[in-house]
Structure formats: structure tokens, C-alpha cells
Chain A
Amino acid sequence: MTEGDYFHVYVVMELEDARLVPVSLEMLSEARRLIDNLNKKHGSDEKVVAVLLGHDVKRLTQTLIEHGADFVVYVDHPELKEVRNTIYTKVVSQIALDREIAAKVSAKYAEQFKKPRFMFFGADAIGRHLSSTALVELDSGLASDINKLEISDINLTHQNKTGGKQELYEKTLEMYRPDFSGFLWTTILCLDNKNPAIKRDYHPQACSIIPGVFEPLKPDSTRKGQVVEFVPRIDEQDLKVRILSRKAIKSDVDFESRKAVVSFGRGIRDFPEQNIKLVEGLAKQLGAEIGVSLPISKKPFSVSESLASTYMNSERVIGTSGKKVSPMLYVAVGISGAMQHVAGMKEAEFIVAINPDESSPIKDESDLFIKGRMEDVVPKLIEELKKQSSLVEA
């Protein structure tokens, strides 16, 4: 295969309860930006292709065009009403490899087209699994949980990929993924093996994108695009997987309706059990829901079973890999302020940080920085809060 065999970005849409999951439009927006830059730089005419699977979904195709898609491939089938990984993987892969569809997307590249150049999925309960299985089916690489993308031409000398020689990789997707600490960015590339000893094509270059990172485009009803229906081949065998029921449940953790959120991080380390109880006390005085930083969800400290199961879980994580909150008051207790956490709380109206280290990044995200150890500061705050409320009541 030559460099010329791959075109376009295919963006896999997600639906729940017949509505688009927001990450779908966020991905379209970023795909639009990237492809516009690419076309401008190379004088090409590659497209943003939205791939939409479901039942009774044609009504959504116009919305996708208004939000940046040049082309919508939709599949309308009763068996696609709910996501079943096997069926979805096969249908998405069929579309990605379908040369008739590619010819409709762009006549200009119809002859050469072998595979999409790029593919985007949502990094969530649908897209994570679907991207993983689809990229095995398409036999290419995948980077997960991406929050920044760029397309560049990269000169690379790599022992394995290029056999130690310098090679140019054109139109390469740089996929930035924040690591678990929130302080490091790892850039992942998906590259063909140009090394003659192990020559191999690895396209599409694919990734899953963290929900809430990119802003969707404002809908523009003057945008033009094409819509085409794809008729899938569904294996009888795969229909033996039956969804018996689906029920939406309300979470016990409720950030939405609370005025305040108190979150804690690794700063509880010296006395984890007592310190979590202090945080509970502060939250109670403020009528706040309790959040945590990502490291806490990994249960780094040994505390009683009840505290661990209540607080050390992913449901309470605030940040890019958790929830975004925007309360009137946000209190960060013993949180250093990694970017991935800040992304989840920066929209709060008033932010208070309690931290002994004035140089920690959370200071630049706070309105009020209380310098001190949480063991010392939080009890005083609780006491003062109690005092001030009893004054009001009196």
C-alpha cells in the first residue's frame, strides 16, 4: 500500500435512548477543525464522515451536518436499536472498508481508497469497547482517552518502525493522552511499519476521545452535506445475544442539585480514616456532595470498608476521567490540582483550596487559598461554620 490509500476521518456517533450522546457532536467539531487544516495545508478534499447506527435515526442526519459532518452514513435497523458489541463492531467495520460508500463520500479518491485515514470514537461505555474490537477487526492501532489531537508530518528514525532509517510519515495523527497522574501527556502515534523486514500497513489511525473535552460547533443550518443509507450484513448467530432489559438508575452521588462540592485528594494521606471523616463533617456543614481526585479512586490508603466503598470509587471522581461540576462553592481539600482534575471543577463559581503547599497548582485555580494542613484547618472551619449558623438561628 502507498501513502495514498487512506482518506477521510470516520467519526462513530453514539446514541442513548434515541438521543445523541454529547461526545458525538464534540468529536465532529474536532474532526472538522483537523480536516479543514489538513485540506488547507495539502490542497486536498478529504471529508468528515459521521457514522450513525441505530433504529429510526435518519431524523438525526441533518443535525450531524449542521454540526460539521460533510457526509453521514446511517444504518437504520431494528436490531441496532441497542448497542450489542459484536453486531456494532461488524457493521462499523463493514462501513469503514466499503469502497462503494467511500466512492459516494468522494469520487475524487474512489479509485485509491482502501481504508479511512482516521477514526474517532467516544471514550465511554460504548466507544471504549467498540473502538477496541473494531480496531482488531480492522487490524490497526488505537489510542484511548485522548484530549488533544494534531495532524503533522513527522520525520522519524525508529529501530522497529523504520529499521533505523529516517522515514517521513505524512499526515500523522498526534494523539495526546493524559496519564493517570494528570501531570504527564503521552503522545501516541499509529504508524505503518516501513521497516522492510516487518512491512505492514496500520490504518486507520484511531482513538477514543474523552467526553467533555472539545466544544461542539454551533449548529449552522446553511451547512451542506450528503446522507447515504448503508444496508448492513447481520449474522443470525449474533442475534442470539439478547438484551432482556435496560433500566436507568439514579446515582447515589448527586453533584447536580447541590450548591457545594467538597473534594479530597492524596492530602488525606497522614490520617486517611480521620481525615475523610473531617471532610464528611465539612461537607455536612456546607450541605455539600463529596468528590474525590482520580488517585483516590484507586484506593491508595487503607481505610474502613464503609469509607472505602463510599468514597474511593470512580463515581465520585471529578475531572476529565470523571464528572464535571459547577457548584456555587467548591472546596478542594488536599488536592494538588492536576490538569485533569481542574478540568472537572474550574467552572465552579467560588473555589477554596486547603493545602499546606503554596506552590501547588491548585492555587492558580482558587479564589481563596487557605494555607495549612487539612488536619488543622478543617476542624477550625467546621467549628466556625457551626458557630456562625447558630448565630443566624439565634
Chain B
Amino acid sequence: MTLNVAVIIKLEPDFSEGSVSYNPDGTLNRAETKNTLGPHSAVACTAAFYAKVMYDTKVSIATMGPPIADTSLQMAQRISDAEELHLYSDRIFAGADTLATAEVLKTGIQKMHGKMDIVFSGHRASDGETGQTGPQTAWKLGYTFFGNVVDYEVNVENRTIWIKRLVSLQGFNQVVEEVEAPLPVFIAIDPSYKPTFKTVSQRLAYEKYQKEAKIRSDNYKQYLKVLNVQQLEVDPALVGLPGSPTIVYKVERIPKGKANRQAQVIDGSNPEHIRMAVAKMKEALAAMVIK
């Protein structure tokens, strides 16, 4: 192997219709909502699979979670053709914030076979949405962090990587940045990432590894290693609740603001009302011209 690549993933609520359940007040009903491999985690697996096809790569996947999170590893293996699956599972890890989670993931990645050249994460989890675990794991590993990455190429001989990333800032046009860096690096992949395979040999490799990924993921348990706090040899003071600086103090409904406007309510099945609505919309648009 010339390249070792790891992906950190997360089991998340499945927001697709039919799986997701909302409470009457619009909040997520966690008990009723199914779980799945997070969509951003899936994109990160696609980026690892790109390395598999393009370079001689070993892919490893890691996640922290309850025992049932092994299904997310299976789904990730199906996408990435991984040959090493790590699940960090211990009651002690529960309730961790991003700093304590990053400690577990860092320790686990360092226990994988071979030193990782690239670690991928998704953009952010679709439930927690902090986007902090990726960069925090990167910093603990001592890897250069790049976020919002939409493309990359590895120069295997020079041990360098070329990266294309997006930078969006309030009040500015989006910037496309191209960067070159020595390995190892940590990449949080942008949701818009899409790998392309141009040559025939790449497409053949793509198909070959896809088949392999299917066979492997059908037998994912033989690639799976479940590690608890002792097996991981991580300092219990740095993980779970003791290792979490932050706590959730309270959760409340965002108070409904005062009505900002007094809506005129009309009946959508009444043709006369529809005519009136269109007239009002036209009027609103016409005001633009005068302005």
C-alpha cells in the first residue's frame, strides 16, 4: 500500500421522509426517528473511495457510538471498500462534547494499522451541526486541517496533496482556493464534493472495488473491531462527561416573537381571492420600479 486513509463517520437521525418523525411543535422526535449513516459522513466515504480507486490505498473507518452504530460502519464500508472498521463504544464515552469526542477519535486513529496519510470527515453532523469534531480531531492528531474541500489529488511520490476548497463569507463572493500541503492532512469534505473518474482504467478499478466493497460489507463483522476505554488506552479523564468542558444547561422553545405583520387571510380555493392575491403580488413588484 502506498497510502493509508481513514474516515470518521457518525450514526445520525435519518432526515428522509418516512424515517424522520417530528413532534407536533416542529421539533425532532428522536425516539421515533430511524438512524442511518449521516449524509455528510457518506460523502466523506466517497472521497476515501476516490483514493482507493486512484492510488494504492488502504481505507479504515472509525466511529464513536453505541453498539448499534456498527451498522453505520457497514454502510460506510459499502461506499468506501474499507478493510478496517473501528467502533469506539463504552458507556464512559456517552455524553461527550466535541473536545472529548475528538480525544477518542484521535486515540483510535493512532491505533489503526499504519500511520494515516489522510483522514476524512464529513462537513458536519446533520443533528449536532457543530462541525467541530473534524477540526478538533485534526488538531489533536497534529494534522493540517482543511475544510470545505471539493477536490483533491495526491502526489504519492512527493507525499504532498493538492486541495481545492470553498470559502464563503458574509458579504463576499465565494472564493475557490487551491492549496498544496505535505501529508499528513485532515480533510472535512464539502457536501458538494463529487469525484470524477476519467480514464478507462480508473473506471475498471472503480467497478472492481465496488464489487469488493459489496462482498466485504456483506461480511462486515470480520473487519470490525469494537474498542472500549481500556482497549483504546485513552485517559478516562479526557473523554465522556469528565472530558467535556461544555454542558447543555437548558433546552427551551424559542419564544414566539410578537406578530410582525397582520396577515390578511384569504381562501386559496376562492377564484376571486386568487385574483386579488395575484393583483397584490403584481403591485408589490411594480413598487420596485418606482423605488
Contact = CB atoms under 8 A, between A and B. Distances in A.
Interface of A: 14, 16-17, 21-23, 82, 85-86, 89, 122, 124-126, 128-129, 131-133, 135-137, 139-145, 154, 158-161, 174, 178-191, 193, 198, 200, 202, 211-212, 240-251, 259-260, 269, 272, 286-287, 295, 298-302, 313-314, 328-329, 331, 336, 338-339, 342, 346, 349-354, 358, 361, 363-373, 376-377, 380-381, 384-385, 388
Contacts of B273: 370
25 contacts: A16-B172, A85-B145, A125-B148, A125-B166, A125-B169, A126-B167, A128-B147, A133-B138, A136-B102, A142-B245, A160-B247, A179-B28, A183-B25, A187-B251, A200-B237, A244-B180, A247-B176, A260-B285, A301-B17, A313-B191, A350-B280, A367-B263, A370-B274, A376-B268, A380-B268
B139 interface: yes
A22 B170 contact: yes
Contacts of B285: 259-260, 286-287, 328-329
Given A136-B136, A370-B266, A202 B245 contact: yes
Nearest to B176: A247
Interface SS majority for chain B = mixed
Contact of A248 (B130, B174, B257): B174
Q: How large is the interface on B (under 10, 10 to 19, 20 to 34, 35 or more residues)?
A: 35 or more
A291 B139 CA distance: 36
A246 B175 contact: yes
B196 interface: no
Contacts of A376: 268-269
A128 B136 CA distance: 11
A55 to B, nearest CB: 17
B28 to A, nearest CB: 6
Contacts of A178: 254
A267 B75 CA distance: 30
Given A16-B172, A185-B251, A367-B261, A132 B17 contact: no
B109 to A, nearest CB: 15
A85 B135 CA distance: 10
Given A248-B172, A302-B16, A346 B260 contact: yes
Given A124-B170, A369-B266, A381-B274, A339 B254 contact: yes
Nearest to A14: B169
B260 A365 contact: yes
Contacts of A141: 97, 99, 244-246
Given A128-B147, A339-B257, A22 B171 contact: yes
A15 B167 CA distance: 12
B146 interface: yes
B132 interface: yes
Contacts of A158: 247
A14 B97 CA distance: 26
A248 B173 contact: yes
B136 A133 contact: yes
A251 B166 CA distance: 12
Contacts of B231: none
- Of the candidates B192, B267, B278, the one having the most CB atoms from chain A within 10 angstroms of its own CB is B278
A145 B129 contact: yes
A354 B169 contact: no
B246 A190 contact: yes
A133 B166 contact: no
B265 A363 contact: yes
B113 interface: no
A371 B267 contact: yes
A161 B244 CA distance: 9
A246 B174 CA distance: 10
Contacts of A86: 144-145
Contacts of B144: 85-86, 241
A327 to B, nearest CB: 9
B242 interface: yes
B92 to A, nearest CB: 11
Contact of B275 (A245, A350, A384): A384
Contacts of A371: 265-268
Contacts of B22: 181
Contact of A136 (B15, B99, B167, B246): B99
A269 B98 CA distance: 33
A181 B268 contact: no
A366 B281 contact: no
Given A133-B135, A143-B246, A190-B246, A243 B177 contact: yes
A259 B270 CA distance: 27
B253 interface: yes
A154 B26 CA distance: 30
Nearest to A136: B139
Contacts of B269: 372, 376
A369 B204 CA distance: 56
Contacts of B198: none
Given A189-B246, A354-B268, A381-B274, A329 B178 contact: no
Contacts of B251: 184-187
B91 interface: no
Contacts of A89: 139
B195 interface: no
A122 B22 CA distance: 31
